[in-house]
């Protein structure tokens, strides 16, 4: 600097070089920060609350699916990109931060322009003026979508493993308690040991009912509520007519509706009842159809399963009472009476019969006829 206080050319050149070097260093620093944020899939923001001007890093724009610097991320614009189900949580978090100050963090979802949903771990801090008024909010956002997906896949894998273990246990129980018992009954029949076959079948049915009850109550629940026994589809295996029971004592004039999603059960019941002189006026394969047929046919007796498609028996019973008040409902169920009989009777059934060796449908209808 000369005697007049002016900088000479040498000083000006030195300052010019220092300024250029500072700009280069700043550009390099920004590039390094941008590279680091790219690698970490993280962005930062600095929102000036009063002016609603929000400075986003380039990577934050990319995380949101936009070109860097393509718009000012005003608060309204920012909220429009937050997943609709998360907006209330985010705005409430910000409201509390304004009131209390300090830092905060939240996990949120955003929706990119192409519809892709991303998961972000966002944190921030509220900066206040000397009077404690919020003036800025700044922080970082980390894209954790891959981590969330990996955790979800891990949870699904663990759930699948647990389900496989349950099915494996059930398979062993079916083999030990059902297949073995049926096999023993078949061998007894081949040896003309009818009493032994009946004993094996009765024990097998008891074991099967116990398994069914354990599966329904494995979480400590009470007896199944209406709707829990709705089947996904009717059971309709193709079987021949072998094994139809011999004729039973006649019951003449009783009009019966058979409701069961197991087509062979309906067929065998029809044969048994018609041989006994009962008039089978119709059949139904699900709970909703049972209600409709009851209203249409006004039968004297309805033989109804509980576990059926569309609507289970516990749901159908009150509706049957309303549309066919003169009909008597006899429930035929594979579930143990100790599990469901009380609920079935409370819903409007008159009798509860367990399906199996001891099931006497004709006898139950005869008993009803005696009290009429």
Residue 163's pLDDT is what? 86
Residue 242's pLDDT is what? 41
279 lies in the same domain as 197: no
Q: What is the number of other CB atoms lying within 10 angstroms of the CB of residue 236?
A: 12
195 lies in the same domain as 283: no
Q: Residue 64 phi/psi, 5° resolution? A: -80, 0
Dmax over CA atoms of the chain, in Å, equals 136
Instruction: Using DSSP, state whether 281 is helix, strand or coil.
Output: strand
163 lies in the same domain as 173: yes
24 lies in the same domain as 48: no
Instruction: Indicate whether 85 belongs to any domain.
Output: yes
Instruction: Indicate whether 355 belongs to any domain.
Output: yes
265 lies in the same domain as 367: yes
Point out the least confidently predicted range of 5-19, 91-105, 252-266: 5-19
Instruction: Indicate whether 245 belongs to any domain.
Output: no
265 lies in the same domain as 364: yes
Residue 256's pLDDT is what? 94
Q: 9 lies in which domain range? A: 1-40
CATH number of the domain encompassing residue 124? 3.30.450.20
110 lies in the same domain as 7: no
Instruction: Indicate whether 347 belongs to any domain.
Output: yes
pLDDT in tens, 177-231: 776 777 677 777 767 888 888 888 888 888 887 877 777 665 555 566 676 666 5
Q: Output the six-digit token pair for 207.
A: 């074991």
Count of structural domains, the chain: 4
Instruction: Indicate whether 148 belongs to any domain.
Output: no
Which long-range contacts link 354-357 to residues 24+ away (Cβ below 8 Å)? 354/205, 354/209, 355/205, 355/265, 356/201, 356/202, 356/205, 357/198, 357/201, 357/202, 357/205
Instruction: Indicate whether 238 belongs to any domain.
Output: no
270 lies in the same domain as 325: yes
Task: Decide which of 143, 172, 190 is a domain's last residue.
Answer: 143
pLDDT in tens, 277-336: 899 999 999 999 999 999 999 999 999 988 889 998 999 999 999 999 999 999 988 777
Alpha carbons 310 and 316: distance in angstroms, whole number? 10
CATH number of the domain encompassing residue 340? 3.40.50.2300
Instruction: Indicate whether 149 belongs to any domain.
Output: no
């Amino acid at each position: 600097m000369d005697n007049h206080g002016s900088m000479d050319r040498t000083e000006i050149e030195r300052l010019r070089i220092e300024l250029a070097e500072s700009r280069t260093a700043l550009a390099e620093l920004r590039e390094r920060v941008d590279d680091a944020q790219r690698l970490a899939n993280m962005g930062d923001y600095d929102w000036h609350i009063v002016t609603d001007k929000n400075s986003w890093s380039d990577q934050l724009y990319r995380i949101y699916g936009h070109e860097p610097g393509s718009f000012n991320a005003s608060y309204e614009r920012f909220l429009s990109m937050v997943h609709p189900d998360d907006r209330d949580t985010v705005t409430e978090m910000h409201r509390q931060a304004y009131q209390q100050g300090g830092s905060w963090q939240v996990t949120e979802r955003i929706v990119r322009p192409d519809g892709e949903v991303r998961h972000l771990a966002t944190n921030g801090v509220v900066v206040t003026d000397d009077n404690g008024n919020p003036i800025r909010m700044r922080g970082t956002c980390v894209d954790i979508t891959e981590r969330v997906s990996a955790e979800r896949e891990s949870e699904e894998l663990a759930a699948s493993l647990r389900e496989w273990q349950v099915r494996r246990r059930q398979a062993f129980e079916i083999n030990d308690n059902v297949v073995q018992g049926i096999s023993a009954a078949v061998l007894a029949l081949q040896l003309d040991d009818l009493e032994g076959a009946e004993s094996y079948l009765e024990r097998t049915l008891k074991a099967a009912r116990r398994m069914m009850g354990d599966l329904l109550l494995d979480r400590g629940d009470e007896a199944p509520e209406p709707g829990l026994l709705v089947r996904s589809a009717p059971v309709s295996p193709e079987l021949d007519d072998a094994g139809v029971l011999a004729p039973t004592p006649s019951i003449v004039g009783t009009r019966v509706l058979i409701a069961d999603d197991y087509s062979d059960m309906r067929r065998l019941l029809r044969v048994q009842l018609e041989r006994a002189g009962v008039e089978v006026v119709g059949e139904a394969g699900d709970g909703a159809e049972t209600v409709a047929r009851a209203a249409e046919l006004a039968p004297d007796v309805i033989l109804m399963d509980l576990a059926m498609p569309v609507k289970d028996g516990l749901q159908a019973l009150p509706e049957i009472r309303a549309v066919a008040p003169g009909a008597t409902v006899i429930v035929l169920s594979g579930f143990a009476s100790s599990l469901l009989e009380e609920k079935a009777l409370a819903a409007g059934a008159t009798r509860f019969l367990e399906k199996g060796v001891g099931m006497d449908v004709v006898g139950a209808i005869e008993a009803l006829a005696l009290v009429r």
